Amino acid sequence: MRAPGASALIVAVPAVLAMTLGLWQIDGPSYWADEGVSVAIASRPLADLPTVLRHMDLVHGLYYVLLHVVSSVAGTGEIAMRLPSAIATAVGTAVLVALGRRTASPATGLFAGLIYASLPVVSRYAQEARQYALVSALVISVTYLLVLATEADRDRHRLRLWTAYTITLTITAWLHLYALFVLPAHGVMLLCRHPRGAWMRWIVSATVVCALTAPLALVARTQFGLVSWIPRPDLATVRHLGWLVFGGNPAVIVTIMALAVLGVGAPIRPAVRIVALPWLVIPAGLMVVISLIGQPIFYPRYVLHCVAALALAAGAGTARVAAWAARRSPAAAYLLPAALLVVLAGLIGPSQLAIREPLSRPDNLRALAHTLRDGARPGDAVLYVPAGNWMSTLPYPDSVARLDTWSLHADRFFGELPPDRFRHAATGLSRIWVVEGAKSYGNAVELRNDERFRRTAHWSFGTRQLSLYERNDAGRQPRAVVATSPDK
């Protein structure tokens, strides 16, 4: 029998690795647009949340409440706002180790946890103020609860586990509705292995979960246009997925996929195959099918939890390599998998460094905020296009401390002034800063066509653009300056 201390160590080592990688330069990259939304909403009074959610991001509402609590205690700095994701990643890694132990062996759990913690995509979302790391940790936990519930031998204990499964999955779905795509995978797991009684209990749980999340799904349909930017899956999606999960390194892709195939192909301990394969294939597969025949909904970060299934299969493959080596030499049972993991870490290393670069995110809101703060003068106004782009600067509130932030908008959240009212509001202004997306429209175009103003400077910060418009002076034509995102 394995000593309790050794069992705890097997769980702790991957979790500590995940936490270490999550905290390593967690405040290095700037907030980007999606994180800006999280921080902007979380830092406002909780009473404002219903107003915001009526217009956008209803499916993220529970996460914003959680982040509001964090911001109230620890502020809105990158470390504080991203820390819940780092903690969730460490917890999810620990549960994945336990799941690997339960379905196969301690070695499978250990290797699965180490591989999962090392993958670039896991570290990337461990350092993001969005809910994807938390959702992944909860889906891992829900899957573990399912395994425990189906193996429980006492009715009372079984009832507690099924109740925990139902409650946890409901919370997960309220954090991100697309987490419900794991339900069909769980159903297939049970069909492949467990008796009819377990499958019927799962049907009851799944029905309760769907009923409790139905209100969110029905209301969220009114905001379906907010995901209209998602492209239809194609070969570019596959390439992006490979780059995101494996850092784009072909050697890493080949190694982990080979280990995963070896793990699920093992003739013994089929529980890994039964758990990992449906979990890896079905959620993403269903979303891809829906995206091909209807409204695209598949995006890699929405199925981040499937990476845990891949790590579980690869962990089983690594354990199989260790077992093969043990038949030849006791020392080789430790040295061969250790060498394999060290080589894998070396291959992944450059990607781990790259995701911590200051400009590694789609946007550099920190540089935008610094540029705006350094260039602003008392009396300057700012125009957000669309008006919701005020969230691009709120993560760094000192950037607009000297600016008139609302005169050019109909309300404090999303309202855009009609063109005539906008021209009237701009009459008394001498300098206007414009924060907009990649495409100009609305009052940004109105200002560009206004003969009273001329654009004198422009900066690009990923998908966010910053421009300065100044009122024309008689006899002087300002010279336009175009700059790219500075590294700040």
Dist. CA 143–CA 217, nearest whole Å: 22
Residue 197 confidence (pLDDT) = 78
Q: Give the mean model confidence (pLDDT) for residues 3-20.
A: 86
Residue 328 confidence (pLDDT) = 86
Answer with the residue of higher pLDDT: 193 or 111: 111
Query: Does an H or E element contain 285, and which?
Result: helix 271-293
Dist. CA 430–CA 453, nearest whole Å: 8
2 pLDDT higher than 50? yes
**Which residues, 6+ apart, have CB-to-CB distance to 238 below 8 Å?**
none
Residue 269 confidence (pLDDT) = 63
Residue 267 confidence (pLDDT) = 67
Confidence of residue 479 (pLDDT cuts 50, 70, 90): very low
482 pLDDT higher than 60? no
Q: How many helices (H) and strands (E) does the chain have?
A: 19, 5
192 pLDDT higher than 90? no
What's the mean pLDDT when you consider all of the chain? 89
Percentage of the residues of the chain whose pLDDT score is greater than 70:
94
Residue 4 confidence (pLDDT) = 57
Residue 332 confidence (pLDDT) = 86
Question: Which of 140, 138, 94 has the alpha carbon at shortest distance from 117?
Answer: 94
Confidence of residue 219 (pLDDT cuts 50, 70, 90): confident
Each residue of 426-478: pLDDT tens digit? 998 999 999 998 888 889 999 999 999 999 999 999 989 999 999 986 334 44
**Which residues, 6+ apart, have CB-to-CB distance to 365 below 8 Å?**
30, 31, 32, 33, 35, 36, 392, 393, 395, 396, 461, 464
Residue 194 confidence (pLDDT) = 66
- Sign of the dihedral defined by the CA atoms of residues 153, 157, 163, 168, in that order: negative
Each residue of 252-290: pLDDT tens digit? 999 999 999 999 987 656 789 999 999 999 999 999 999
Dist. CA 99–CA 148, nearest whole Å: 9
414 pLDDT higher than 60? no
487 pLDDT higher than 60? no
Percentage of the residues of the chain whose pLDDT score is greater than 90:
66
Each residue of 312-333: pLDDT tens digit? 999 999 999 999 999 888 888 8
Confidence of residue 405 (pLDDT cuts 50, 70, 90): confident
Confidence of residue 486 (pLDDT cuts 50, 70, 90): very low
386 pLDDT higher than 80? yes
Dist. CA 362–CA 463, nearest whole Å: 7
Determine the residue type at 115.
I
Residue 48 confidence (pLDDT) = 85
Residue 168 confidence (pLDDT) = 98
Each residue of 21-42: pLDDT tens digit? 999 999 999 999 999 999 989 9
- What string of DSSP letters covers 58-74? GGGHHHHHHHHHHHHHH
Residue 483 confidence (pLDDT) = 47
Range with the lowest mean pLDDT among 73-87, 186-200, 210-224?
A: 186-200
Range with the lowest mean pLDDT among 1-5, 265-269, 411-415, 438-442?
A: 1-5
Q: Give the mean model confidence (pLDDT) for residues 383-409.
A: 86
Confidence of residue 481 (pLDDT cuts 50, 70, 90): very low
Range with the lowest mean pLDDT among 247-261, 380-394, 421-435?
A: 380-394
Residue 478 confidence (pLDDT) = 43
Enumerate the domain spans of the chain: 4-354, 365-484
72 pLDDT higher than 50? yes
124 pLDDT higher than 60? yes
Alpha helix ranges (H) inside 43-119: 49-55, 61-74, 78-103, 106-118
231 pLDDT higher than 80? yes
Task: Annotate 123-152 with b (16+ C-beta within 10 A) or e (fewer).
Answer: bbbbbbbbbbbbbbbbbbbbbbbbbbbbeb
Residue 119 confidence (pLDDT) = 96
Residue 367 confidence (pLDDT) = 94
The dihedral over CA atoms of 392, 393, 395, 398, expressed in degrees to the nearest 10, equals: 180
Q: How many Å is the Cα radius of gyration of the chain? A: 25
Residue 268 confidence (pLDDT) = 59
